[in-house]
Amino acid sequence: MIDSRASRATASISARVLAVLLPYRRAADPAEAPDHPEQLFQIEQFVRAGEPIVFTLPGFPCKSTNPAKVLGPLPDESERLSLRFLDRLCARIAEVYPPGARLVICAEGHVFGDLIGVSDAHIDAYVEELRAIVRRERLTRLTTFDLREVYGDLPYAGKRALVDAVYAPSMESLWAQARADADTQRLYRGIARSLAEDARAVAFPGPRSALRRAHRDRAYGVLRRSRAWCDLIADHHPRSVRLSVHPQRSGAAKFGIRLLEADDVWATPWHSAALRCADGGWRLMRRADAERLGRLVVRHGRPSHFEAR
């Protein structure tokens, strides 16, 4: 009887924690009824033990190289608002589950920086500024995790080689999965679209057919490394509740989370600029679009965001 009551209490608390996340769900199909047994199971493991819930979120790699999308190479108001949102989300969970929650930002830039044409030095600068924002804003429920925590002082090329060797699926298996699995195909297309948009800012010396092949190969390479990174995260944070900035279907192993409002379901802080709307709300959009709608705001000597005119 006591065990039964405890189980019901655990299930009830876990459902309340999930309810905190649901308004920010980034769904692959918004019409699909939310059903998240995997996340409930993961949350219940922490609730049953009376421990703080640990979330892991791969993302925050580096800013896009496309100046039509972003304001510059370093985190700006888009990232600051997103990090503050994630910290507040953990605080709200503590209101329904007193042990609370913490979230690990799994910064993935070094995992595939060589494939997207961003130097490791630029990625280091981006991640260090993320950490500085966390400190300045006193976002005590957030921590960061990247390849340096795993492979120490090895050169980044060596770190990536180890990720490939230990965790990356074969390209053949990835191609087969992309053909057979709608979720994988959707993610591949999202990555390919983003890479193609960024590449328009750089002249390509070859014919269009070669450019398409290059986009395809890089997109599959990024997808392959992303899968490897997720498996590495699972090894290092095996009990965590897995979040994703990408749209996820109901029942998926990851919960898709929306960091800020945006018309584009694939929009992220590192591919966008932030616009403060006339009603005080915030939206992510391409820099070129935000420029048409607002005036640039500079903070601490750097472009920060746009304010609606």
For residue 2, pLDDT beyond 60: no
Which tokens sit at 223?
């997808």
Residue 302 parent element (H or E) = strand 302-308
pLDDT digits (tens, 9 = 90+) for 278-305: 999 999 999 999 999 999 999 989 999 9
Residue 217: count other Cβ atoms within 10 Å of its Cβ.
12
Question: 200 or 37: whose pLDDT is higher?
Answer: 37
Other Cβ atoms within 10 Å of 117 Cβ, number: 13
- How far lies 85's CA from each of 8, 110, 218, 277, 301, in Å? 30, 24, 31, 17, 24
Q: What is the mean pLDDT of residues 72-87?
A: 98
Give the residue-averaged pLDDT of 34-54.
94
Question: In whole angstroms, how far apart are CA 14 and each of 10, 56, 129?
Answer: 6, 17, 34
Query: What average pLDDT does the structure give for the chain?
Result: 92
Do 305 and 77 form a contact (C-beta atoms < 8 A)?
Answer: yes
Closest CA to 286 of 300, 273, 299, 305: 273
Residue 96 structure tokens? 């329904």
Q: How far apart are CA 223 and CA 198, in angstroms?
A: 16
Least Cα distance to 273 among 305, 296, 301, 245 occurs for 305
Strands 294-299 and 302-308: antiparallel
For the stretch 130-176, pLDDT in tens is 999 999 999 999 999 999 999 999 999 999 999 999 999 999 999 99
pLDDT at 1: 46
Q: What is the pTM of this model?
A: 0.92
The Cα 24–Cα 7 span in angstroms is: 27
More confident residue, 195 or 44: 44
Tens-place pLDDT, residues 7-18: 889 999 999 999
Q: Starting at the edge strand that comes first in sequence, how are the strands of the sheet with 261-262 ordered?
A: 261-262, 282-285, 273-276, 302-308, 294-299
CA atoms of 283 and 66, how far apart (whole Å): 19
Q: What is the mean pLDDT of residues 16-32?
A: 91
The pLDDT value given to residue 194: 85
Cβ 25 vs Cβ 227: under 8 Å: no
In the block, residue with structure tokens 């994988």: 184
**What's the one-letter identity of residue 97?**
Y
pLDDT at 204: 55
Grade residue 205 by pLDDT with cuts at 50, 70 and 90: low
Tokens found for residue 166: 């230990």
Distances (CA, A) of 106 to 53, 144, 149, 173: 16, 6, 10, 25
Q: What percent of the chain has pLDDT over 90?
A: 77
Q: Is the pLDDT of residue 77 over 60?
A: yes
Q: What is the pLDDT of residue 198?
A: 79
Q: CB–CB of 110/147 below 8 Å?
A: yes
